[in-house]
Amino acid sequence: MRHKVAHRKLGRTSEHRTSLLRNLCTSLIVNEYLVTTLPKAKELRPFAERVITLGKRAHLKGADESSVHARRLASGYFHAGNTNRFPDGTYKRKPAPRTAGVQAVDKVFGELAERYAERPGGYTRILKLGSRKGDGAEMAIIELVDRTNETEVVEQPKEQKKKRGLFGFGKKSE
């Protein structure tokens, strides 16, 4: 019986599983879509939606102490950024670049909070892709709903093949 057993273990220890979900959540927020296995996507969905809800609540309340608290809570869903960095202003050292975790927190409390301000929930969508060739794992795309497609496919005209004789031999027609 599986009474009161909530989540999938994904074949990992609890620390490894938490780290995996934090990495996946960071990639999902920064890139707005992610290709992964179906069980990982299903486990990531509530994890990511909690972060977006924190950002949305802070956006609706405005800039006060609760938004700082929400930012600190949300940063626990991403890997910490800029660890072991030198402080700013050291001699001949540039400040460390912002890492993906810091970018993800900024994006949640900025762009995504505004985008989903009127939406009551359901910020992600899972699309099944089929089995992976190597091990037969069920693959899926998890993406943010209403995301902007930055990459538009531009169709280029196909080049005409040069006709040759039988079996590719013969004169090239121009």
72 domain-assigned: yes
| Residue with more model confidence, 174 or 158 | 158
State mean pLDDT over 47-60: 91
- How many C-beta atoms lie closer than 10 Å to residue 164's C-beta? 12
Handedness of CA 103, 105, 110, 116 (dihedral sign): positive
State residue 128's pLDDT score.
96
Give the percent of the chain with pLDDT over 70: 74
159 domain-assigned: no
Nearest Cα neighbor of 82 from 96, 72, 93, 94 is 96
State residue 10's pLDDT score.
87
Query: Which contiguous run of DSSP H or E holds residue 22?
Result: helix 14-31
Give the pLDDT band (50/70/90) at residue 132. Answer: very high
The stretches of 62-98 forming alpha helices (DSSP H) are 65-75
Six-digit token string for 57: 């609540």
124 domain-assigned: yes
Q: Are 22 and 78 in contact (CB under 8 A)?
A: yes
Helix (H, G, I), strand (E, B) or coil at 86: coil
DSSP state string for 116-155: TTT--S--EEEEEEEE-TTT-PEEEEEEETT--------P
Radius of gyration of the chain (CA): 23
158 domain-assigned: no
Q: What is the CATH number of the domain that holds 131?
A: 3.90.1030.10
Close Cβ partners of 60 (under 8 Å, ≥ 6 residues apart): 117
Instruction: Name the pTM for this structure.
Output: 0.74
pLDDT tens, 11-45? 899 999 999 999 999 999 999 999 999 999 999 99
State residue 91's pLDDT score.
65
25 domain-assigned: yes
49 domain-assigned: yes
State residue 114's pLDDT score.
92
Rounded Cα distance between 148 and 70, Å, is 26
State residue 95's pLDDT score.
63
Helix (H, G, I), strand (E, B) or coil at 26: helix
State residue 88's pLDDT score.
59
State residue 174's pLDDT score.
53
Domain that holds residue 47: 14-85+97-150
State residue 150's pLDDT score.
61
State mean pLDDT over 66-85: 79
Backbone phi and psi for residue 3, each to the nearest 5 degrees, phi listed first? -70, 135
Q: What is the mean pLDDT of the chain?
A: 83
pLDDT of 154 higher than 60? no
pLDDT of 85 higher than 90? no
How many structural domains comprise the chain? Answer: 1
